[in-house]
């Protein structure tokens, strides 16, 4: 069984500062993928960044980067230069258990609520 | 930009009533997912379709929940009868292949 753990229920960061959101995972699969999604108060889940287990370099997407430490089973999200619009829930999720024909299961953590302070 | 559409956005119902949610995935996305997200939790998969076929419904409470995707495009999730514990956000997502899942805006259900 796969498990995602996000130990920070809530985080505060000053505007323009960087913040790290923690995510650890557990899986017996050799091939897996890790996602980060942002969920504003409106409810929609917005894809931010993806890291495959065999990717040699850490993923980056604009102000988002993923600090992937495979041996420690961690996939922390780093947001640089925080903006007020970054205030939202952030979910770490793992892709595994390929069910064939391009479909797969996605297991989510409980999320971290980020609040950006002006 | 293509989006996953869901309706209604909000639904308030009384327990023991029937409710239905609709989802239209991004055009060309063969895989469709229904998730339930209880307040303060991450989404949990209820059912997964590949075209019109159910791939996984192991977490779907089949005594009261049903889902269909008759023509392999849009999908309906039904709850009958609704219970107080069903109050949650119901999210629909779609994917093309092994890429990321794209989520709709969700339906927020309140059961009174």
pLDDT averaged over consecutive 10-residue blocks of chain B (112 residues)? 92 97 95 94 93 91 95 95 97 83 94 96
Sign of the torsion angle spanned by Cα atoms A25, A64, B26, B86: positive
Question: Would you give the end-to-end CA distance of chain A in angstroms?
Answer: 41
Burial call B62-72: b when 16+ CB within 10 Å, e when fewer: eeebbbebeee
* pLDDT beyond 80 at A102: no
Please give the interface size between A and B, counted as residue pairs whose CB atoms are below 8 Å apart.
Answer: 67
- Among A47, A91, A100, the residue with its CB nearest the CB of B100 is A47
């Amino acid at each position: 069984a796969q498990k995602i753990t996000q130990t920070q229920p809530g985080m505060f960061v000053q505007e323009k500062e960087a913040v790290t959101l923690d995510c650890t995972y557990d899986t017996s699969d050799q091939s897996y993928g890790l996602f980060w999604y942002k969920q504003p108060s409106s409810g929609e889940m917005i894809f931010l960044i993806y890291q495959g287990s065999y990717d040699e370099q850490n993923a980056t997407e604009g102000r988002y980067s993923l600090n992937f430490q495979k041996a420690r089973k961690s996939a922390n999200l780093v947001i640089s230069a925080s903006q007020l619009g970054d205030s939202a829930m952030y979910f770490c999720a793992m892709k595994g258990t390929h069910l064939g024909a391009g479909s797969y299961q996605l297991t989510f953590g409980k999320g971290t609520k980020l609040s950006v302070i002006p | 930009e293509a989006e996953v559409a869901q309706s209604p956005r909000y639904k308030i119902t009384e327990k023991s009533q029937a409710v239905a949610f609709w989802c239209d995935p991004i055009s060309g996305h063969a895989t469709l997912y229904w998730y339930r997200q209880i307040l303060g939790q991450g989404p949990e998969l209820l059912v997964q379709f590949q075209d019109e076929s159910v791939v996984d419904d192991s977490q779907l409470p089949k005594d009261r929940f049903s889902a269909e995707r008759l023509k392999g495009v849009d999908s309906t999730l039904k709850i009958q009868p609704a219970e107080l514990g069903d109050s949650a956000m119901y999210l629909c997502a779609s994917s093309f292949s092994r890429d990321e899942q794209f989520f709709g805006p969700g339906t927020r259900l309140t059961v009174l």
